[in-house]
Amino acid sequence: MKKNVIVGQSGGPTAVINASLYGVVYEALNREDSFGTVYGMINGIEGFLNDRCMDMKPLELSGELELIKTTPGSYLGSCRYKLPENLDNPVYATLFEKFHAMNIGYFFYIGGNDSMDTVSKLSRYAEKTGSDIKVIGIPKTIDNDLVETDHTPGFGSAAKYIASTVREIGIDASVYDNKKSVTIVEIMGRHAGWLAAASALARKFDGDNPVLIYLPETDFDQELFLKKVAEALETTPNLVVCISEGIHDKNGTFICEFSSDIGVDAFGHKMLTGSGKYLENLVKDRLGVKVRSIELNVCQRCSSTMLSGTDQKEAIASGAYGVQCALEGETGKMIAFKRSSDEPYTIDYVTADVNLICNQEKTIPLDWITKDGTDVSQEFIAYAQPLIQGEVNVPTEKGVPKFAFRK
């Protein structure tokens, strides 16, 4: 009897997380000789525990599956549910009883670090109990902070959005040249500065905006920041500064914590916001120049208008490759990218042990950051440039994007 497939999405969405979903579903549906029904978990593993699933086949028959490729957000819905550390917890027996009842033989989870933790725990429980369910992780995260892979689906499109938007902001800031002004752009990134670093791709020439870029990989000094801003204003009167939301001082205190108390999310992570506004007020008070702060916020991960063709292609391929690997008997693995060349840009799809990935974090190499901590090197540019290439034609309806959605 053919085993069934189930796939879910977890954590924060990206512009291409549904492209990965498409890759899994399309590949599985087109291997009818190997698989039975292809199910989708509504709201991830948490929804599955509450018996919320859907048959994915009708999406192919209706044409909705094709729309998923260019739809942002998580089509199946998401969750931030952390499985217990103790594999003897009853929730695991409950999950596997449900898998058995639905004849599930293949489990795919699309997500970032916390999602790979789920893949690790489920695959270890399967091994412990002798279950033959194959458990595979499909990577996603705009933060680009998963280890054991060159990069992650979602980062390329977010980087393209950031580079394009910062270039637009820089052009807008330059229209008046009679007064000095500072525009501070706050970009997502808790401990890893990949997204803020991508703002360097906005530059049209050496010395162009953003002149200063601050990342959480190095300590942030407020006095040195003010000095750098004052110096930069002498040559660039309409200055653009890009910062990661997670910049912190030498004591590890997030800069946003100086302006207000911050809460925590379901996983206990501090919810960072306000670094840009704090620095706006600091510059205004200390330097007395016109200053504004802009927080790109959720647009970095949900914009479909600047999808990277490379990113979408790799997201689809990673989902499809995950299905192929599971069919070959692999389990407890995450699909990863191995780069062999920057120019011409080439990668191979491989698998990596998910136990080496979950609960780890990949930050920007320090030698890709200038010694004064205000910019990135050419090595970063060479790394990131290929990931934002290629345009994607997003279907439209009455002048706005046409997206797939669950009724």
C-beta pairs of 25-31 under 8 Å, 24+ apart in sequence: 25/56, 25/59, 25/60, 25/65, 25/68, 25/319, 26/60, 26/65, 26/316, 26/319, 26/320, 27/319, 27/320, 27/323, 27/324, 28/106, 28/323, 29/56, 29/57, 29/60, 31/323, 31/327
Cα 71 to Cα 376: distance, rounded to the nearest angstrom: 32
301 is in an annotated binding site: no
Is 245 known to sit in a ligand binding site? yes
C-alpha distances in Å from residue 352, one per residue of 28, 40, 92, 324, 356: 21, 24, 24, 15, 8
Residue 189 in marked binding region:
yes
What is the rounded distance in angstroms from the CA atom of residue 211 to the CA atom of residue 214?
Answer: 10
Is 44 part of any known ligand binding site? Answer: no
Choice among 33, 51, 88, 143 that is catalytic: 143
375 has binding-site annotation:
no
Q: Tell me, yes or no, if 143 is annotated catalytic.
A: yes
Residue 112, both tokens: 């970032």
Nearest Cα residue to 238 out of 292, 319, 298, 194: 292
Question: Is 12 annotated as ligand-binding?
Answer: yes
Q: Is position 367 annotated in a ligand binding site? A: no
Give the sign of the dihedral formed by CA 224, CA 293, CA 364, CA 217: positive
Neighbours of 406 (CB within 10 A): 11
Q: E-strand spans in 10-65? A: 38-41, 53-55
Measured distance CA(57)–CA(38) in Å, rounded: 7
CA-CA distances (angstroms) from residue 360 to 192, 296, 298, 307, 354?
A: 12, 26, 24, 27, 10
User: Would you say 209 is a known binding-site residue?
Assistant: no
Task: Determine if residue 247 is labeled as part of a ligand binding site.
Answer: no
Query: b or e along 257-293 (b: 16 or more beta carbons within 10 Å of the residue's beta carbon)?
Result: bebeeeeeeeeeeeebbbbbbbbbebbeeeeebebbb
Query: What is the pairing mode between strands 4-9 and 38-41?
Result: parallel
Rounded Cα–Cα distance for residues 187 and 194 (Å): 10
Residues making up the annotated binding site are 12, 113, 141-143, 188-190, 245
Residues with a catalytic annotation lie at 143
Residues making up the annotated binding site for substrate are 141-143, 188-190, 245
Residues making up the annotated binding site for Mg(2+) are 113
Residues making up the annotated binding site for diphosphate are 12
